[in-house]
Copies of this chain bind each other. A is one copy, B any other.
Amino acid sequence: MSVRLVLVEPEGRINFGFILRLCKNFEVYDIYVVNPRFNIDDPEVVEFAAKGSDLIKVVRVVDSLDDALRNVEISLCTSAKSSDEDDVLRHSEPPEILEEVFRRYSKVALVFGRESVGLTRDELRKCTAVITIPGNPEYNVMNISHAVAVILYLTWRYRGVKRRYLPDVKRLDILNKYFEQVLNQLPLDDRYKDKAKIVFNRFIKLYPLRKGEVTTIYRLLKTLLYVLRTARK
């Protein structure tokens, strides 16, 4: 079971210090920072990290979100902006989805965006799903370190959840591959395809699929693909 915290272009030293302290408090020791806007060992960071400041030496600073997401099975980002009905990229889940996530995956990345503007759509697209912490509809914008506090607390809480039968992640990615191939056989514009892929990936990775369901979807996609390809010849 490993939890990786990923911060994309963090801007505030105080927040970063607080976040390290929270990592120490909730035992999250796999920390990636993409292009921080300050020196991660700045004295203000050290001050606010308190006894978490020894984690500065384990933090990995990288140049891209792709690097930070290497070797994880699933990645969840937090965003205050939730979706339009139609904007599937911003459809979001409540934080309790983490219970299901920890039941199913052992290499999980939790991604937090910039204090000022959050994550770009390209970055959101690299994450499997979005979590929004519910709150006052008139002002639901938590400070990043407080959002990290809520999410890491739940992470701690759900770490020990019992795993039942779970499909292998590689097998699910084969479903994604076939789904994409099916889409490519269809007269659909790229924007729609893109949306459909997000929805499908979330469905197979977050819905508690049983083995028989995985097999059923696999077979459906293989069949569809065969039929579509044959029809084009």
Residues of A whose CB lies within 8 Å of any CB of B are 14, 18, 21-22, 24-27, 50-52, 95, 133-136, 139-143, 145-147, 149-150, 153, 156-157
Are A25 and B145 in contact (CB-based, < 8 A)? no
Q: How far is the CA of A21 from the CA of B51 in the complex (A)?
A: 25
The answer for the CA separation of A95 and B51 in the assembled complex, in Å, is 23
- In the complex, the chain B residue whose C-beta lies closest to that of A17 is B143
Residues of B within 8 A of A157 (CB): 134
Complex Cα–Cα for A21 and B150 (A): 15
- Copy total for this chain: 2
CB closest chain-B residue, reference A140: B25
A147 to chain B, nearest CB (A): 8
Can you list 22 A-B pairs with a CB-CB distance of less than 8 A?
Answer: A14-B14, A18-B143, A18-B146, A21-B142, A21-B146, A22-B142, A24-B136, A25-B136, A25-B142, A50-B143, A95-B153, A133-B153, A134-B156, A134-B157, A135-B153, A142-B149, A145-B146, A146-B146, A147-B149, A149-B150, A150-B150, A150-B153
Label chain A's interface by main secondary structure: helix
- Closest beta carbon of chain B to A93's beta carbon, Å: 14
Residues of B within 8 A of A26 (CB): 135-136
Question: A25 — which chain B residues lie within 8 A by C-beta?
Answer: 135-136, 139-142
Contact between chains at A22 and B136 (CB < 8 Å): no
CA distance A156 to B141 in the complex (A): 14
A140–B50 Cα distance when bound, in Å, is 12
| A52 (CB) vs chain B CBs: closest residue | B139
Residue of B nearest to A134 (CB): B156
A23, closest chain B residue (CB)? B136
A60 to chain B: closest CB distance in Å? Answer: 21
In the complex, what residues of B have CB within 8 A of residue A18's CB?
A: 143, 146
A139 vs B49: C-alpha distance in the bound complex, in angstroms? 12
- Tell me if A146 and B22 are in contact (CB < 8 A): yes
